[in-house]
Amino acid sequence: MKDDHTFSVSYDLDHEGRIYMAPIAEKTGKFSSLEIRHLLIAMGALILAMTIMFTNMSSNIWVWAICGGIATVVVSTGFLMHELAHKFQAQKYGCWAEFRMSPQGLMMAVFMALLGFLLAAPGAVMIRGNLTNRQSGIVSALGPLTNIIMASIFIVLLVIVDGKGLIGLAFFYGAMFNSILAGFNLIPFGIFDGKKIMNWNVFVWVVLVASAAGLLVLVYPSIRLITSLFGVGPIGN
């Protein structure tokens, strides 16, 4: 545990270019109001982008309501819980860790959704402080691991409801997107979590990749289940 009396600060710029003080030592689970605003805006933009994708610009208000609900389930698990896993673990190691959105990435996500693609670089958890190679690897691994756990839970729920109804559809998309996001973030290059995991422990990286791939293989056959439910492809076409 960090001593509460230890207090060091660094200066940083927020996305509007204002200087603010960023305390380095902080309690796990602490959020700043700026961070909460960034998280809410990023969530809103991602939910909007995914809803646009799912509805395929339908004129039916109910389609929008249902797709909005499903997108909320997917984004709250696939994006929010992934980022919070990084944040809380970094805070546990005594770092300052806050999410900052990428306004360009979010605008791009909505724009691409209008064109029928889902592509998002919503931002990332910024970390200040000293992490060992192992700690950095663990902080990175917890993001994809969260997606793998969520996908597994959704698959169990999907089986329980027998893939039926709108709730089954939400579980299906929850399972599918969490598996895809786990795999995507495990790419071992550049800014992806996979690179830091690989630098720490190749075995952990291989286990995570195998788990994500296994989940995708499990969830893919259920597309047929959903297709038979709607009489069309899983995304309203």
As annotated, the active-site residues are 83
Q: Which residue has the tokens 């047929």?
A: 224
Q: Which residue has the tokens 């270019």?
A: 17
Nearer to Zn ion, 46 or 52 (CB): 46
In the complex, what is the shortest distance from the CB of residue 188 to Zn ion, in angstroms, rounded to a whole number?
Answer: 13
Nearer to Zn ion, 55 or 211 (CB): 211
In the complex, what is the shortest distance from the CB of residue 202 to Zn ion, in angstroms, rounded to a whole number?
Answer: 18
In whole angstroms, what is the distance from residue 127 CA to residue 135 CA? 12
Nearer to Zn ion, 143 or 163 (CB): 143
Reported as type and span, the H/E element at residue 177 is helix 165-185
Nearer to Zn ion, 123 or 143 (CB): 143
Nearer to Zn ion, 143 or 168 (CB): 143
59: its two tokens: 């004129």
| Residues engaged in binding Zn ion (CB under 5 A) | 143, 185, 193
Q: Which residues contact 16 (CB under 8 A, 6 or more apart)?
A: none
In the complex, what is the shortest distance from the CB of residue 85 to Zn ion, in angstroms, rounded to a whole number?
Answer: 8
Task: Return the SS3 of 54.
Answer: helix
In whole angstroms, what is the distance from residue 183 CA to residue 180 CA? 5
Reported as type and span, the H/E element at residue 138 is helix 133-160
Pairing of strands 19-23, 96-101: unpaired
In the complex, what is the shortest distance from the CB of residue 40 to Zn ion, in angstroms, rounded to a whole number?
Answer: 19
Task: Return the SS3 of 125.
Answer: strand
Task: Return the SS3 of 102.
Answer: coil
Residues, the chain: 237
Neighbours of 5 (CB within 10 A): 6
In the complex, what is the shortest distance from the CB of residue 79 to Zn ion, in angstroms, rounded to a whole number?
Answer: 10
